Amino acid sequence: MIDMHCHLDLYSEPHKVVNSCRQKNMYVLSVTTTPRAWSGTRMLVNGNDRINTSLGLHPQLAHERYKELDIFDDILPKARFIGEVGLDGGKNNRRHYKQQKDVFRHILASTQRASGRIMTIHSQYAASDVLDELENYPDACIPILHWFTGNKNELKRAILQGCWFSVGPAMLRTKRGRNLFINMPRDRIISETDGPFAMFNGKPLMPWNVNLVFSVISKLWGESEKAVQERILNNFRNILKISKNVIV
């Protein structure tokens, strides 16, 4: 099982969650929201090579944390995974949009110099702008649009620009999410939860709840759940391979 976007440090008892992930032999991408949080979050999973910690600066915090871009650049040589980063054009976040863009551009310029980074990207109410930025920094990363909520044209464009997509139970519960999902290339899909932010039946999703997507995808693709899981595992291996090839 793979959870490609999860905020392990934000659960009320992160060590317990990490231990359960370990017992279940899960692969988890533990995303952070500030550069300062990276070291501590990484310590949470010390010694578990199936849990990677990504270096992030969440767009909703960009206006408060832009000064941590120096820390971002210092850590970057050690971080193969980047996120959560991106843009948020929602009405509560719009007033800091200019600062969000400055921060996102700085990050893309830095990762373009570093090369080969896998980046998990937030694009709520901002899909077109995120795609514009990625177009301006074509070698900045291997982009994964997490919980994509753009429209069909934006999706088409994202596919043409080489984006990957991580999808979770909360996204696939909505008809709109499923309609987008069926138009995403099957070889560029990875599973995620976005826990504990994302909820399911009133409870925060745990990383292992990622298995809730397999039955939904199985129906939408007309493939067995086992085939779906194998495909997602293959996709995951492929994106790692692509990243490695770029770095070398």
Q: Taking the complex as a whole, how short is the minimal distance between the CB of residue 3 and Mn ion, in angstroms?
A: 11
Q: Taking the complex as a whole, how short is the minimal distance between the CB of residue 146 and Mn ion, in angstroms?
A: 7
Q: Taking the complex as a whole, how short is the minimal distance between the CB of residue 83 and Mn ion, in angstroms?
A: 8
160 CB-near residues (< 8 Å, 6+ apart): none
Which pair of tokens denotes residue 63? 């206006």
Residues that contact Mn ion, how many (by CB under 5 A): 2
Q: Which is nearer to Mn ion, 33 or 111 (CB)?
A: 33
Cα 36-40-45 angle, rounded to 5 deg: 140
Which pair of tokens denotes residue 217? 């995808």
Q: Does 194 bind Mn ion (CB under 5 A)?
A: yes
Q: Taking the complex as a whole, how short is the minimal distance between the CB of residue 58 and Mn ion, in angstroms?
A: 7
Stretch binding Mn ion (CB under 5 A), from 8-16, 80-88, 130-138, 238-246: 80-88
Of 42, 44, 59, 48, nearest to 107 by C-alpha is 59
Q: Does 88 bind Mn ion (CB under 5 A)?
A: no
Identify the bridge partners of residue 237 per DSSP, sorted by sequence position.
none
Strand ranges inside the chain, DSSP E: 2-6, 27-30, 51-53, 81-86, 118-122, 142-146, 164-167, 189-191, 199-200, 203-204
Stretch binding Mn ion (CB under 5 A), from 14-22, 79-87, 107-115, 150-158: 79-87
Give the whole-angstrom CA distance, residue 245 versus residue 23: 31
Q: Does 192 bind Mn ion (CB under 5 A)?
A: no
Q: Which is nearer to Mn ion, 154 or 194 (CB)?
A: 194
Q: Which is nearer to Mn ion, 68 or 84 (CB)?
A: 84
Give the CB-nearest residue to Mn ion: 194
Positions in the binding site for Mn ion (CB under 5 A): 84, 194
